[in-house]
């Protein structure tokens, strides 16, 4: 049984369908990247899982418990790091974390231990007695995480946790995600920064118009999309014989001659067969001036599946 499962889930707002018969399973130990353009149903799906909304039909289960019928059991196993900061400026950092710890039933010595542990984990133990109003944006994001992990949840939802912060804080948060995962938490990570999901995700789901339109590891999704690596080669001259030989290479899909003595190649397994291309260039006395590689990635796949039109 999967740790988390959406089964044929539907959520409507008036006549608009935000989540459209969504079925999705997440296994224990994953860092699952959840992607989607604005208005795709991603946030609604998260709110349904967190029990903040009720589905119109379908079921959501967490660790075998139904999110709607057994909210106490599911919320005890879930930590939510929302995109909008859920901290109180009038409380110290310590008191913020302690407040949320009490909501999960922690008391006494255990509460103090877990609050101290959470603040140390996010690098705020030295400033625990300060109010968040004195914090930078990155520190507030890290405090937001501390508030969600004191009860050691089995599943942690991180909804855009690195929005608008400095590179050092972003790196700290990504390392924290990896560490929480190693300590036993399954992570659901949403972001508009594709490179973050590529860096930490074990599997990726892409939602659009309320439906799951792609799901798998990065390599699986890229393979399914048919993307090829693009090479742009600039040489001191273009030799027609070299172009013809490259076109007949079994791993080259297409070759285009561009202006300024440049070639554009689309090929499979460029890492393995790059030496072949360089050998052909040398054989025909094409002096290599520059080589640019554009590898298949999640951003290209995302735009391929969801389009390039702006979503507001």
Q: In sequence order, what DSSP letters do the residues of 71-92 get, joined into one string?
A: HHHHHHTEEEE-SS----TTS-
Cα–Cα distance measured from residue 99 to residue 311, given in angstroms and rounded to the nearest whole number: 37
* CA 60 to centroid of chain Cα atoms: 21
What's the pLDDT tens digit per position in 151-162?
A: 999 999 999 999
List, in order, residues 6 or more apart from 271 with CB less than 8 Å away.
none
Q: Output the CATH code of domain 228-295.
A: 3.30.70.100
pLDDT for residue 210 is more than 80: yes
> Sheet of 31-35: strands edge to edge?
78-81, 155-159, 186-190, 31-35, 203-208, 211-216
Range(s) of the chain covered by CATH 3.40.50.300: 4-223
Left (φ > 0), alpha (ψ -120 to 50) or beta: where does 51 sit?
left
Which of 147, 160, 138 has its CA nearest to residue 83? 160
Cα–Cα distance measured from residue 209 to residue 309, given in angstroms and rounded to the nearest whole number: 14
Angle at 174 between CA 294 and CA 312, to 5 degrees: 65
pLDDT for residue 310 is more than 60: no
Is-contact 238 263, C-beta < 8 A? yes
Q: pLDDT band at 269, cuts 50/70/90?
A: confident
Which of 290, 234, 285, 288 has its CA nearest to residue 261? 234
Task: Determine which helix (DSSP H) or strand (DSSP E) holds 220, and give its type and residue range.
Answer: helix 218-225
Cα–Cα distance measured from residue 105 to residue 109, given in angstroms and rounded to the nearest whole number: 12
Query: And the tokens for 281?
Result: 């260039």
Which of 238, 65, 86 has its CA nearest to residue 157? 86
What's the pLDDT tens digit per position in 131-177?
A: 999 999 999 999 999 999 999 999 999 999 998 888 998 999 999 99
Residue reference for tokens 């949320």? 100
Give the pLDDT confidence score for residue 311 in this predicted structure.
60
Give the pLDDT confidence score for residue 312 in this predicted structure.
59
Stated length of the chain: 312
Topology at the third CATH level for domain 4-223: Rossmann fold (3.40.50)
Range(s) of the chain covered by CATH 3.30.70.100: 228-295
Bridge partners (DSSP) of residue 225 are none
pLDDT for residue 309 is more than 80: no
Cα–Cα distance measured from residue 159 to residue 153, given in angstroms and rounded to the nearest whole number: 16
Cα–Cα distance measured from residue 233 to residue 23, given in angstroms and rounded to the nearest whole number: 44
Q: pLDDT band at 301, cuts 50/70/90?
A: confident
Alpha carbon distances (Å) from 168 to 138, 174, 175, 196, 223: 8, 10, 11, 14, 33
Which of 43, 143, 17, 130 has its CA nearest to residue 85? 143
> Sheet of 16-26: strands edge to edge?
16-26, 4-13, 57-62, 65-66
What's the pLDDT tens digit per position in 18-43?
A: 999 999 999 999 999 999 888 889 99
Cα–Cα distance measured from residue 242 to residue 235, given in angstroms and rounded to the nearest whole number: 12
């Amino acid at each position: 049984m999967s740790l988390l499962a959406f089964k044929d889930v539907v959520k409507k707002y008036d006549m608009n369908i935000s989540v459209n018969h969504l079925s999705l399973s997440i296994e224990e130990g994953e860092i699952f990247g959840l992607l989607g353009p604005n208005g795709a149903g991603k946030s609604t799906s998260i709110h349904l899982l967190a029990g903040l909304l009720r589905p119109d039909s379908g079921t959501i289960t967490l660790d075998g418990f139904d999110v709607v019928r057994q909210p106490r059991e599911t919320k005890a196993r879930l930590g939510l790091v929302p995109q909008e900061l859920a901290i109180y400026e009038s409380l110290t950092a310590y008191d913020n974390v302690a407040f949320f710890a009490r909501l999960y039933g922690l008391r006494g010595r255990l509460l103090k231990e877990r609050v101290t542990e959470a603040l140390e984990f996010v690098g705020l133990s030295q400033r625990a007695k300060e109010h968040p109003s004195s914090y930078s944006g990155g520190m507030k994001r890290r405090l937001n995480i501390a508030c969600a992990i004191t009860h050691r949840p089995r599943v942690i939802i991180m909804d855009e946790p690195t929005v608008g912060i400095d590179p050092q804080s972003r790196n700290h948060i990504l390392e924290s995600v990896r560490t929480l995962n190693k300590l036993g938490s399954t992570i659901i990570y949403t972001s508009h920064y594709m490179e973050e999901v590529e860096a930490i995700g074990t599997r990726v789901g892409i939602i659009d118009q309320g439906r799951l339109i792609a799901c798998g590891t990065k390599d699986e999704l890229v393979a399914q999309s048919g993307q090829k690596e693009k090479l742009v080669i600039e040489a001191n001259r273009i030799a027609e014989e070299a172009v013809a030989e490259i076109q007949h290479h079994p791993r080259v899909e297409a070759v285009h001659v561009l202006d300024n003595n440049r070639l554009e190649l689309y090929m499979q397994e460029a890492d393995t067969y790059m030496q072949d291309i360089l050998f052909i260039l040398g054989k025909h006395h094409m002096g290599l001036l520059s080589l640019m590689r554009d590898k298949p990635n999640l951003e290209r796949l995302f735009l391929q599946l969801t389009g390039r039109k702006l979503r507001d």
